[in-house]
Amino acid sequence: MSTKRLEQAAQATKTAFVFPGQGSQKVGMLAELAEQFSVVKDTFTEASEAVDFDLWQIAQSGEGLDQTENTQPVLLTASIALWRVWLELGGVAPKFLAGHSLGEYSALVAAEAMTLADAVKLVNLRGKLMQSAVPQGEGAMAAILGLTDDKVIELCQKANASAVGQGSVEAANYNAQGQVVIAGSTALVQQVMAEAKEQSGKAIALPVSVPSHCTLMKPAAEKFAEALEQTAIELPRIPVIQNVNAEIATDVAQLRQALTAQLYQSVQWTRSMQYLQDQGIQYVVECGPGTVLSNLAKRLPNIEKAFAIDSKARMEDALSAILVAEGKIA
């Protein structure tokens, strides 16, 4: 269905779409849009059949929503449902796509590099492998605010040096200047949090069950690579900026490699957003529940406007503003 729509969509020159990762889920997401657009429920049905459990029920009841093996397929499906509504309403085809962590898979489905059915199966497995790589309670993540990237790296190195053989802690997400998420062994994450506060930074523990994007995920990545090899992947029809290097893959082997590495390497979101600005992007649309990425984008010097589209009113605002900005309507 969306293939034809994507072919028919007017091409944007100043707009990029970004797809959120874990932490953006909320109970009851997309309920309002589902009443207006049948494609929302249809998308959830298609994805639920692939994984063999009811993703819409989890999204609406919240039961098991924060378990990563559920969070990941639910969020991906929600993002693709919004993408399909956008195209159905005559929205433009963005110039670039990028997804934060799990969101990279949503971006690849939107760009038709993989099918929704294959992607939800992959991210369900990704969640299971991530959860089994680190026993509950042994890993943690925290946001460090107000310190430079280099300072956060230095604090992590210091903690690792003091705890040889007792786990590790690393910078996991470079989200924006002065906002870095760390991940690793619980005790070491807490140590870096305490040190960051002493350096006049802020530290906020994140409510996650798994420390993503750090060395502790390497065993999961090795198993995950096998599943990726079995999955049909094509080059995206819209360029997708990759988390691991803030670049665009030029062949499918690179794409697979980047998705494997993404599990245990840091998310280069600051660099990805810089790449968009360097390419003349002025408008950013967050295609998923919530406003985490659009709020980050609003702070960037060359981004004129950033939109969330997770309600009917927000979707309509973004549609008309971007059609005008792209010169598609007066």
Residues with a known catalytic role:
101, 213
Complete DSSP assignment for 232-266: -----SS-EE-TTTSSB-SSHHHHHHHHHHTTTS-
Contact of 192 with 159, CB cutoff 8 Å = yes
Cβ burial, residue 93 (10 Å; 0-12/13-18/19+): buried
For residue 139, list its beta bridge partners. Answer: 185
For residue 196, list its beta bridge partners. Answer: none
Q: How far is CA 86 from CA 9, 100, 118, 160, 320, in A?
A: 10, 20, 22, 46, 11
Q: CA 79 to CA 107: how far, in whole Å? A: 9
For residue 173, list its beta bridge partners. Answer: 181, 267
Pairing outcome for strands 179-185 and 267-268:
unpaired
Contact of 57 with 73, CB cutoff 8 Å = no
Q: CA 241 to CA 252: how far, in whole Å? A: 14
Complete DSSP assignment for 125-161: HHHHHHHHHS-TTSEEEEEEESS-HHHHHHHHHHHHH
Look at the block and give the residue holding tokens 């797809």.
19
State the DSSP code for 93: B
For the sheet containing 283-286, what is the strand order? 240-241, 96-99, 15-19, 283-286, 305-308
Look at the block and give the residue holding tokens 């670039």.
96
Contact of 43 with 80, CB cutoff 8 Å = yes
